[in-house]
Structure 1
């Protein structure tokens, strides 16, 4: 009787471990980065095969996807990172407490080798922000859009004209403490003052970096930042004739700590 009772107790103790003892290795494909714990869930980074139009698996380098494992749900696909048909990797993953939102968020820095046809001279980076909503890990589209994606570029004369500013944990952590990140996605312009002579770039949705305009602002000019992404700020300012909207690099704008 004692042996039977002991066996039953062991079954009760061991069975949950067997049921909930799933690991990232069980997802197949191979791990692209070490698993991490976030808010009681295991975050897995898994290599994925890309199917061709004929339904066959591509011979191109694998893509990377993020999955979550928890006791309350089966393994769940959370997000597939940008894919360009080239080799990609997870550069870093970490949690940061975001004071403005009063919650901890999960940040992932991912990069891919730039295809030859792209006008960049470095790998192409992107930063994704993840939060828990309704007990599930989800990608925060607005805050991820703040970091967006990009790679270093040169202008028409070969000078370095743009450096993607969020390639490591230090730069991401600094950005999270900025006023621009705090108001990301909010329809409220942020006032700023230009720190140095800065050329402006056109286009409505994103800057056309290869084609700077002849228009520029100088130190002391006041602007209103209406949107920011990948280190670029969409600004508006008033001339003697009209209000103008252009893009410029956010690093050339000074902001007060609180507005």
Structure 2
């Protein structure tokens, strides 16, 4: 496995994307940095972290074996790989906040940005960006953020965490390649944050409403039970969970 280590970069996803456009990049190639000057999150948000205290990296994964309608299983495999890794280090009360934020209790410890590329109308590869808060303890103006050190009281080795995650990622993608995606979806749903609990949501127009998360669809839409026993599906940009 090739690991490219950089002191600072604008974005590991951007670096790896540009590298793969210039040369053949092997499966599970990792780009890791101590500091990102322009780390990106979902929907154009930014991801900020202190230099050298957290795990910031991107990994390239060949996804040519997946069909387009299976795209959400990439997110499922990544989320479960993170959960398994953190459980190995005794991080308590882990949840997946749809689609792929990782929480300990109700505090976010990890964000994920997945960018897929297509070639000749087929999936080619996926660049999976991970921002894991590890040893940082100060999160100014981020009341919902935490870190492994804050929730456990321990200091962690970044390289050890990275290698553990990659091994778990290989495991879950091998399950996908064996054609058993339903098993992963069921496991993913057991970790869903606020599942089966009355919760407040905001839609794309800014309207707030109450609903109960039931599950996710095959394509990754959130299935929410509304009033009058109606279950409605929402895409990622159509709804946000307030907590």
Q: Going by fraction, where is helix more abundant, 1 or 2?
A: 2
Structure number with the bigger relative contact order (C-alpha 8 A, sep ≥ 6) is 2
Identify the TM-score tier after normalising by the shorter chain: 0.3 to 0.5
TM-score (norm 1): 0.32
